[in-house]
Every structure is written in C-alpha cells, then in structure tokens.
Amino acid sequence: MTLRFAFPRPGANRALDLVNFFVADVQTGFGPFVAVYLTTNKWTQVEIGFALTLGTMTSLISQLPAGVLVDSVHNKRTAASGALVAIIIAALLLALRPEQLPVLVAQMLHGFASCVMTPAIAAISLHLAGHAALGERLGRNARFASIGNGLAAAVMGATGAYFSSRFVFLLTAGLCVPALVALWSIGAGGHARTQTTSRVMDIAGLKRLLADRRLLIFGVCVMLFHLSNAAMLPLAGAAVTMRAGHFANLIIAACIVVPQIIVALLSPWVGRAAEKIGRKRLLLLGWGALPLRGLLLAVLPGSWPLVMGQAVSGVSAAVFGVLLPLLAADLTVGTSHFNLCIGILGLAMYLGAAASTTMSGEIADAAGMEIAFLMLAGIGVVGFVTVWLAMPETRPAPVAVSPSVQE
Amino acid sequence: MAPEQAEAILGQRVTDAEGTDIGRLVDVLVDATGQPQAAVIDFGGFMGVGNRKIAVHWSVLHFNPGDQKHKVTLEMTPDQIKTAPEFLNPNKAAAVVTPANTTPNSP
C-alpha cells in the first residue's frame, strides 16, 4: 500500500511550486492596497485604521485555532481550498461592496484564511517530500512565493495606478483559481501522515509539544527576530520619503524588490544546507544578519545604505522563511501537532512584529531615528545570542534507508 | 449642488503646482465654528511603505471643482513638503505648515 507514495511525482512538485506562486500573488493584493482602496472610497482614517486592526487581530487570534483545524483535517488540500474560497469571497466583497460591514467581514475572512493557508501548505510540502527532503522543498516554496510576490507587486502596483484599485481585488480573486487548480494537481503525498494529522482531542501529544523546551526557546527567538525586523523598513522608508522626493517611490520599490530577489535566489540553497550542515549554523546566519542591517541603517542614513540593508535583510528572510516550517517539523516528530506548532510560531511572529512597530514608532518620536535603529539592532543582537547559546541543533539524525524500506 | 460648484474632497488626489499627483487628502481639521483650518494630506510611499501624513494650512490648498484632473492643488514647493513635520496623532497638538513660512507652528 505504501509503495504507491514512495516516489514523489515530478508533476506534483511543480504543482506545489505553482501553488506557492499563486498564493503569494493573492496575498500581495491584500496588503497595502486595502488602505489605499478604502481611502479612495471615502473612508476616514479612523475607519480604515479600525478595519486594518480588525484584520490583524483576527490573524493574531486565529493562529492557534487554524493550526488545530488543519491538524484535524485529513486532507490538507481541502483545508487550503477552503481558505482560498474564503479569500475569493473576501476579495470580491472588497471589490464590489466597499461599505463598512462587507469590508470588516472581508478582513476577518482573509485574516482567518491566511492562518489556515500557511500551515496547510507546509503540511502538504511535508507530505510530498518527507522529512529528509523537507528543507529543499521548503526552499522551493520560498523561492516561488517571493517570485509571485514580486511579480504581483509590480503588476498590481502598475494597474492600481492606471486603473482603479478595485481592479487589484478582482485580479486577486481571479488568481485564486489557478491556485486551486494547481492545488488539486498535487495529489496525496504519503510522508509523515501521523505527524500532521491529529484526532482533535489528542491531549497527551499536546502536552508533550508544549512542554518541549526547544519549542519555547525557538518561539522566543522568532519573537525577538520580528521584534527587531518588522519596524526597520517602515521606519527607514518614512525617512527616505522625506528626503528623496520624486525618487522616493523608485527607491522604496527597490527596497521591496531587492530582498525578494535574494530570497528567490537563496532559499533552495538554505533548504539544502539545512540538511547538510544542520539548522543551527543557518539560524546564526539569519539571526546574525539582522542586527548588521539595523546597524547599517542607524549609522549610514541615505538611500543606498537602505537598499543595501534590504539586501542583507533578504538573507535573513530567506533563512527565516525556510527554517520556521522546517523546525516545526523537527520539533513535532513523534507528536501529531505539526500545524499547531506552526500556528504557535506564527503567533510569536505576529506578537513580535506588532510590538516592533508600536515600540519603535514611540522611540523614533521621542529620541530620533538613529536611536530607534540602534535599539532594533540591539534586540537583533539579543536574538542572535539567544540562538547561539540556547538553541540546540534540531536536525534529526540521518536514518539509513534501504531501498525496500519506506519512510 | 452641481459638480462644477462643489466637489467631494475626502480621498481626493492632490496635485502640486505643476499638476503632478503627490498624494491624497485624507482628513480635514475644523475649528469650533466649523471653519476648516487645515487638511491632512497623505504623501508618498509605495506599497504601503514610506507613507507620511502632513497637516497643511487650509489657505495652501486650492480647489478646482470644474477641473476633472486637478481638483485639489497644493501650493508648496517640494522642499517645503520634504521638510514638513509628520502629522501623527489627531489628539495631540498638530504642527501645521503655513504659507508664510516653512517653520511649523501649532494651532
């Protein structure tokens, strides 16, 4: 019976690449375009702020339930499809009914769907590739996601300017369709089924997971990473807009595109390296690049250092994007809560990011940009040291697999 | 009211003296008698990064209901725009850029 799933089909891998590409396209459409779109529809700043905050809050509190949900669903592609359908509805609501209730509903739908999508894709990747090849598969996910992100940003930015912002949301809804098609072309993967599917009330496994010190340590590291990382670009971007005038848009576009290119180039290498040289060295690379970027932004104000800083952040992003789901897989071997683990780490990420922008905004107002960047860099250093001293290597010991034994 | 007489301004694009699109008018600050004192303009940025809001004195704005493309124009040089302090919190004293000088004063 298991023989059927022994050889991953090359078509399935390509289909998963496309899923990542299209999902990234879709998520790009929901980012900053919502604020602009609502502004053109005469929403006041307070109302817009509320809608955006509602979306963020929904995502925050959905992390854990979404993880549990994806764990309990046997066919992860069903969960991902449900999320995509919710996103189609959200995008259409935004495009066609920009009034208060439809928009708030759309924000909540999108927030929840995003929290389902991330672990579902990770679980599908694990099913397809198996634990030993997961690093490389996740690297491919990250590569196609960043390509999708970059292309979508360019296309939507251009069409949003020339046509209406409404068009961006219609396009977003439309892009969900190829995502769904690609999703169902993947077929069932056979690896790691028990790790990613739990009976809903598996309390013992849950306790085992939550008691794992490594999860706590990594969660703290993730939070510190985003506490340092999240505010750096907005802070620097505001400074650039102030100084550069007409070129500001171009510079900021470069700031967004450069890290995407680096993530696209580096991610598969990161995935392979995680298998060959272990996770910890890569964690040190990713977490270490972050304070360097902060230092660069603090010490050298100006547009070119900013773009260079973004290149450095691409390295961190590549490491982070691949290693978060990979470590979730490492930490949940033997339990059946892979998706919940991703939800927990996602929550740590959101909390760190939220605190980052709030805190650094206050500090920049009170003490100036330099101090704010130095502080963010300092937090980055704390994160780096935590990884260095407290985080163990989590790569599972290689198991000798003879050709007749399935994983 | 006919469109040539009065125009809706919230969310409207703001152009500079040469007609280049520079941002959107996102809020209006009125005094106790309901007279508009200043407008909040959202400048710049790309994909949500680098946006700034500044508060400009009402007299710096010109409104052209008849002109489809330039409904709201802002009479400030790019340098003045660049150095304007950011408008952050409607509950705190706002720094408003006035036409007579480039240094802000609080209302």
Give the domain CATH number at A85. 1.20.1250.20
pLDDT tens, per residue, chain B with 107 residues: 776 777 778 888 888 888 777 888 888 888 899 899 889 888 766 666 777 788 888 888 888 887 777 788 888 877 777 777 777 666 666 677 776 544 444 44
Q: How large is the average pLDDT for residues A346-371?
A: 89
Pair A220, A347 in one domain? yes
Pair A31, A120 in one domain? yes
C-alpha span between A354 and A230 (Å, rounded):
8
Cα-to-chain-centroid distance, residue B52: 12
For position B101, what pLDDT does the model report?
Answer: 47
Q: Is the residue at A4 inside a domain? A: no
For position B103, what pLDDT does the model report?
Answer: 40
C-alpha span between A87 and A176 (Å, rounded):
8
Pair A241, A158 in one domain? no
Structural domain span for residue A329: 203-393
A chain contacts of residue B49, beta-carbon cutoff 8 Å:
32, 233-234, 237, 252, 255-256
Pair A207, A66 in one domain? no
pLDDT in tens, A48-79: 889 999 999 999 999 999 999 999 888 899 99
A 7-46 residues with CB < 8 A to B: 31-32, 35, 39-45
Q: Is the residue at A56 inside a domain? A: yes
Pair A247, A286 in one domain? yes
Indicate the angle between helix axes A100-129 and A76-96, nearest 10 degrees: 150
Pair A222, A151 in one domain? no
Pair A163, A208 in one domain? no
Is the sign of the CA dihedral A152, A157, A161, A162 positive or negative? Answer: negative
Q: Which two tokens stand for residue A84?
A: 């995509």
Interface contact B49-A249, CB threshold 8 A: no
B chain contacts of residue A162, beta-carbon cutoff 8 Å:
none
Interface contact B11-A39, CB threshold 8 A: yes
Query: Hey, is A133 helix, strand or coil?
Result: coil
For position A405, what pLDDT does the model report?
Answer: 44
A chain contacts of residue B48, beta-carbon cutoff 8 Å:
31-32, 35
Q: How large is the average pLDDT for residues A349-368?
A: 88
- CB-CB: which of A157, A248, A253 is closest to B44? A248
Provide the number of structural domains found in chain A.
Answer: 2
Single residue among A160, A190, A220 that ends a domain in this structure:
A190
Q: Which residue has the higher pLDDT, B99 or A221?
A: A221
For position A406, what pLDDT does the model report?
Answer: 44
Q: Is the residue at A257 inside a domain? A: yes
Q: What are phi and psi of B28, to 5 degrees?
A: -130, 135
pLDDT in tens, A1-52: 444 444 556 688 899 999 999 999 999 888 778 888 888 888 888 888 899 9
* DSSP β-ladder status, B72-74 and B13-15: parallel
| Range with the largest mean pLDDT of A185-199, A232-246, A348-362 | A348-362
Right CATH for B13-97 from 3.90.1150.10, 1.10.10.60, 2.30.30.240, 3.40.50.300: 2.30.30.240
For position A57, what pLDDT does the model report?
Answer: 92
Give the nearest chain A residue to B28 (CA atoms). Answer: A44
* DSSP β-ladder status, B61-63 and B72-74: antiparallel
C-alpha span between A72 and A76 (Å, rounded):
9
**pTM recorded for the entire structure:** 0.85
* DSSP β-ladder status, B52-57 and B96-97: parallel
pLDDT in tens, A294-339: 998 888 877 788 888 899 999 999 999 999 999 999 998 878 889 9
Q: Which two tokens stand for residue A39?
A: 């502004």
Give the nearest chain B residue to A30 (CA atoms). Answer: B47
Interface contact A238-B50, CB threshold 8 A: yes
Q: Is the residue at A2 inside a domain? A: no
* A346 pLDDT more than 50: yes
- Ordered DSSP codes for A26-92: HHHHHSTHHHHHHHHTT--HHHHHHHHHHHHHHHHHHHHHHHHHHHH-S-HHHHHHHHHHHHHHHHH
H or E segment and range at residue B41 = strand B36-43
Q: Is the residue at A400 inside a domain? A: no
Place of tokens 């897989």: A329
For position B26, what pLDDT does the model report?
Answer: 85
Distance from the first to the final alpha carbon of chain A: 13
Interface contact A245-B46, CB threshold 8 A: no
Pair A107, A233 in one domain? no
Pair A221, A343 in one domain? yes
Pair A233, A311 in one domain? yes
C-alpha span between A300 and A288 (Å, rounded):
19
- CB-CB: which of B47, B83, B86 is closest to A153? B47
Q: How large is the average pLDDT for residues A240-266?
A: 81
Pair A27, A171 in one domain? yes
pLDDT in tens, A96-113: 999 999 999 999 999 999
Pair A98, A181 in one domain? yes
Interface contact A241-B24, CB threshold 8 A: no
For position A395, what pLDDT does the model report?
Answer: 86
Interface contact A255-B42, CB threshold 8 A: no
Q: Is the residue at A404 inside a domain? A: no
Interface contact B45-A41, CB threshold 8 A: no
Q: How far away is chain A from the Cα of B86, in angstroms, using its nearest Cα?
A: 9
Interface contact B49-A252, CB threshold 8 A: yes
Per-residue burial over A162-186, b = 16 or more CB atoms within 10 Å of its CB, e = otherwise:
eeebbbbbbbbbebbeebbebbebb
For position B92, what pLDDT does the model report?
Answer: 64
C-alpha span between B107 and B94 (Å, rounded):
7
* Cα separation values, A217 from A10, A203, B50, Å: 36, 22, 34
H or E segment and range at residue B18 = none
For position B107, what pLDDT does the model report?
Answer: 42
Q: Is the residue at A209 inside a domain? A: yes
High-pLDDT (> 70) share of chain A, %: 92
Per-residue burial over A356-369, b = 16 or more CB atoms within 10 Å of its CB, e = otherwise:
bbebbbebbeeeeb
- Calculate the average pLDDT of chain A: 87
